[in-house]
Structure 1
């Protein structure tokens, strides 16, 4: 049985862990479910005892980390623990959910690849605890900044768990225990860039997708973004603007923001994105970038501006007709010159 002292220790650990998730390393929220508590057992190299793993490594020297899993429910539970790599969700927050993730090209080390045990499954009896260990294998050379990931703890469904009305209750839940490592004390400042800007559609609405990337091995927290889009050469007429608050980004990751183009026609030509951003640590970014909308993009992505589409098609037909007439004229001239040479 779990002693009252041990239960209190675990609950305090979970409380500290929740505080850390909100302020130090933003992450996905745990879903409601059965009683499960997760507590880290800090290694000797731990830097900050704030509720998650954050420790210093030596090149190529493995470190073992352990977590205590407590089953606070009145029935046996099976848990799956899987190491993951941190990334930035489409909502603009640091997350650790496993699955196929389009990692940024600047990401050099993935936490999942550095942990020996890829997945562990344990069954814990009611009101008991179990300790699970993982081996972290740091890069063989010193690395800049931090490498961020997590131990993703997920419970299995209990199909036999029914309420008084014989309705199955879904008791599946997930918790994350962040794992962050570094080998140097030198501070690394984040670098925010815009790798690409492309038109798209959301339902029937024309949008502009702007990919934002954090190209450095460090987190961005408290990120605020303001941007506007206008046709190049006409900065006084704003076609779309956007404002986002309280975002966070994982090291070497990216996500997309969307600008609603509203009722404005997406005409072919060159446009300009003017973006301003800053984070809670005083970093500021000013990004100015042109992007081009082709005739094809305009036809595909316009928001029901059918008269513009009809005009574009008409212009395209006129261009094709002119090219055909020029071709015919040149062909006749060649035939005439050939006849004169005989």
Structure 2
């Protein structure tokens, strides 16, 4: 009975602990609109697609409408477009390292990040300064204007507060000509054994060296031992994209295998724009004993050593039961002899 009461108390404590976690979803109570200038190329859009000249100075205007019943602060920053590890163009990384092929860094041409306050039930005009470099550039420079509401500091409670934060992104594309003739070019920078979210992969660092978006990207890849046709790892992904002058690590494998030291060959084919552009790469690489051991020891899917504790417990119980039976038989036999 005491054991059942103890189990009930433990269950109740878990339930109350779970109830202590409070999830608070902040509703999206603001909206952002743009004033498209005269040098806007693509009409009928909500993003900036501007035809510019070397050395041009311009002010871009956006409007933040706060529909909430109290005032809020908003953080405005403009970030150069990059490609994330999933093969998606990303505008949310203000501190992303510039690619080695980049010649025009959009981050250097716009106003620094700032914070504005918008009163309740009102709209505020925000201006962003743009200064185009004196040196002419080809293709496009791509980025995004991020507008994020600054959340109030969460009150300290006994539970855990979970809050959702939303952000508006207004695209910003600059070019000196209406028609873009620059063609994408892909390079394979390097191949590494790497851990992503505590799972082991072989990654191929792919680079778009040109100032143009790489649309409809499909990558087919597999890894073999050197001078072998047997596939050790393989991955195919499609419907990806790459930002101009950017690179990303394409992960090969499912993350569930341990890596073995040895000499390998990467076979990779990439196509873009529905197969209009195609690249083939075949390159050898090595995974050292030290690297394989390091990654395998920290991976969440590493084989666990067999736990013999419960085997010993079970074996001990069997021994005790057998001893009990032997003692019971001896006692029973002695009583029988005495009778």
TM-score (norm 2): 0.71
1:178 matched residue in structure 2 = 171
> Aligned in 2, Cα 1:127/1:89: closer, same or farther, shift over 3 Å?
same
Matching of residue 292 in structure 1 with residue 250 in structure 2: no
2:260 matched residue in structure 1 = 266
Matches within 5 A, 1:72-83: 72-83=67-78
Q: Which residue among 267, 273, 294 is the counterpart of 1:280?
A: 273
Matching of residue 57 in structure 1 with residue 52 in structure 2: yes
144-153 or 183-192, which deviates more: 183-192
Matches within 5 A, 1:123-272: 123-159=117-153, 170=163, 172-184=165-177, 185-202=179-196, 206-234=200-228, 236-260=229-253, 263=257, 266-269=260-263, 271-272=264-265
> Aligned in 2, Cα 1:231/1:51: closer, same or farther, shift over 3 Å?
same
CA contact (8 A) 2:74 2:147 kept: yes
1:34 matched residue in structure 2 = 28
Could you list the per-position Cα deviations for residues 79-132 of structure 1 after superposition, in whole angstroms to 9, with x for gaps in the alignment?
A: 1111211111122211111443133111122211101x2022221122211111
CA contact (8 A) 1:90 1:255 kept: yes
> Secondary structure of the residue that 1:149 maps to in structure 2?
strand
> Secondary structure of the residue that 2:108 maps to in structure 1?
helix
How far the C-alpha of 1:293 sits from its partner, in A, is 2.9
- What runs of 5+ residues in structure 1 fail to find an aligned partner? 1-30, 307-342
Taking the aligned partners of 2:134 and 2:105, their CA distance within structure 1 comes to 14
How far the C-alpha of 1:279 sits from its partner, in A, is 2.4
> Aligned in 2, Cα 1:259/1:76: closer, same or farther, shift over 3 Å?
same
Matches within 5 A, 1:6-21: none
How far the C-alpha of 1:250 sits from its partner, in A, is 1.1
1:107 matched residue in structure 2 = 102
How far the C-alpha of 1:189 sits from its partner, in A, is 1.3
TM-score (norm 1): 0.71
Taking the aligned partners of 1:87 and 1:68, their CA distance within structure 2 comes to 25
> Secondary structure of the residue that 1:239 maps to in structure 2?
strand
- What runs of 5+ residues in structure 2 fail to find an aligned partner? 1-24, 305-339
Q: CA RMSD in A?
A: 2.8
How far the C-alpha of 1:245 sits from its partner, in A, is 2.2
Taking the aligned partners of 2:259 and 2:109, their CA distance within structure 1 comes to 49
Q: Which residue among 76, 80, 91 is the counterpart of 1:96?
A: 91
> Secondary structure of the residue that 2:231 maps to in structure 1?
coil
How far the C-alpha of 1:146 sits from its partner, in A, is 0.5
> Aligned in 2, Cα 1:265/1:170: closer, same or farther, shift over 3 Å?
closer
> Aligned in 2, Cα 1:142/1:32: closer, same or farther, shift over 3 Å?
farther
Which protein shows a greater Rg?
2
Taking the aligned partners of 2:206 and 2:193, their CA distance within structure 1 comes to 15
Matching of residue 69 in structure 1 with residue 58 in structure 2: no
